[in-house]
Amino acid sequence: MRALGPGSVSSFLKVILDVVRWVLVLSAIGVSVGIVACLLMSFNPELLGGSVDIGDIHIKGAWLGPIAAAALLAIDLYLAGALVIVGRLRRIFQTLIVGDPFHPANVRRLRIIGAALAALELGRYLFTGVGRLFAHSLRLARIDAGGVNLTTWFAVLVIVVLAEVFREGARLRGEAELTI
């Protein structure tokens, strides 16, 4: 089976990315509606069940709606980052389908994917830090962050290197087009 061109593995993966994109869009819309609902229901915390137990954390009363909305906001931001990544991957696969893997725009797309992965990981650190701060001030249980994810940082480095490989490929392609 071919890797590039119409009817190739690239075409199949592009279809999968199209489906994933729509799932992410619908999920982001659903989570956004959930944020609004949590904030509206925070005026009457009993509508949210009065309390929520998440592991060792017991949340009740007036904080229930805002904390639930903040958690949903973190999920929404994560979904937005995933949408950026999937969107750029879709465009890269479009160039693979037409047989142009070293399209100059792919360099920028790969760099954006790397930056989005790094931003998602840094956002996780930020959200965990803010969560720990609120958990401490509200005398809730300690929030476990899970530490530094070396796999994510390794993936960011690999994508940065691949972007440079694609940049060099695009440069060589440009030179070849100038050769008579």
Tens of pLDDT, residue by residue over 129-145, are 877 777 666 665 555 65
Question: Each residue of 14-46: pLDDT tens digit?
Answer: 999 999 999 999 999 999 998 888 888 777 766
State the Cα–Cα distance between residues 103 and 120, nearest whole angstrom.
Answer: 26
Chain mean position to CA 64: 26
The tokens of 160 are what?
A: 């940065």
pLDDT band at 90 (very low <50, low <70, confident <90, very high): very high
**CA-closest candidate to residue 74, choices 17, 106, 34, 110:** 34
Measure the CA–CA gap between 169 and 179, rounded to whole angstroms: 15
Q: What is the pTM of this model?
A: 0.81
Cβ atoms of 25 and 83 within 8 Å: the answer is: yes
